[in-house]
Structure 1
């Protein structure tokens, strides 16, 4: 079966209503896997697969479970390759919060990404906290998870600013990947040494 066909089956599986309400749908799962691909710390497959589903799905049989899990692992590897290729990652949704941000796919993607960050939060900020925080900002804004916080509340009131930030996400991902996975290639991003 081609990878495209596998992805179609994965998407149907993740977007079905039977899954646990806290399980990530396809778009959110894509965000989640993107975060895991960028993080400097490898999370064990079993751990992130279980986290993605929140509780074990009711698979028809072991073959379906193996296929879905294998496709998730392949998708994560595919995302990693895309990020490493230095092309802006193509997201599986429009970079647009629309009139109802809570219903937008990009919000779901950003929430999924943040779930991936939360799995190993300390690891994200241990090398270049300032740069990482700056690059994560568009995703944090897009997720809506932080709207209660003052600096985010101001941004959330400005629809144009929100849209501008969300449109920066693919570039931010490329920069985050380089910063976390290939810091030597980007010496300009590193903090100056204090003498």
Structure 2
């Protein structure tokens, strides 16, 4: 099965109604894996997979569980390669919150990304807190999770400012990746993996 086919199956699984309410759908899972790929601290696979689903999903059998988890791990590696490349990072959704921000895929992606940040919040801010906060801002704005805070409410109330910030997300991701994965170290992709 090709990676594209695996992703299609993963998407159908994550977007199905029977998953736990707090489980991440495909677009949110992509955001979440993007954050995990950027984070300087490696989160154990079991931990981030379990957190993604909120509670263990009802797999039809072990083979399906292995396929879904395996595809998630491959997708995370794929995202890490994209971040490490020189090309602009592509989100799996439009860079637009649309008429109903709460229903937009971009909002879901940003929320998923923030979920990934929350898994290891201290690791994100231990180096260059101000720069990280600044680069996370477009994603935080997009997520709508912080709208009750005055400075976020002001941004959310200004559609043009919102749009200006949202389009900076791919650029911010690349900058965050470089900042959190110090250039003097080998990129995570080249480190041997121990299973």
TM-score (norm 1): 0.93
Query: Could you tell me which residue of structure 2 aligns to residue 142 of structure 1?
Result: 142
The runs of at least 4 consecutive aligned structure 1 residues that moved more than 4 Å come to none
Specify the alignment match of 2:5 in structure 1: 5
Q: Distance in 2 between matches of 1:41 and 1:65?
A: 26
Aligned to 1:171: 171
1:54 alignment counterpart: 54
2: CA distance between counterparts of 1:160 and 1:98?
12
Q: Distance in 1 between matches of 2:76 and 2:55?
A: 20
Looking at structure 2, the residues matched to 120 and 86 of structure 1 have their Cα atoms a distance apart, in angstroms, of: 26
Mapped to 1, the partners of 2:88 and 2:158 lie a distance apart of 26
Question: TM-score, length-normalised on structure 2?
Answer: 0.93
Deviation at 1:7, TM superposition (A): 0.3
Partner of 2:44: 44
Q: Which sections of structure 1, spanning at least 5 residues, go unmatched?
A: 186-195
Check the 8 A contact 1:87/1:174 in 2, yes or no. no
> Does 1:161 pair with 2:161?
yes
CA apart distance, 1:159:
1.0
Partner of 2:152: 152
Cα distance in 2, alignment partners of residues 86 and 35 from structure 1:
18
Task: Give how far 1:87 is off.
Answer: 1.6
Q: Give 5+ residue unaligned stretches, structure 2.
A: 186-195
3-state SS, counterpart of residue 19 of structure 2: coil
What is the CA distance between 1:86 and its match in structure 2?
2.5
Paired residues, what number?
185
1:182 to partner: Cα distance: 2.6
Counterpart of 2:188 in structure 1 is none
Instruction: Tell me how far apart the structure 2 counterparts of residues 94 and 55 of structure 1 sit (CA, whole Å).
Output: 29
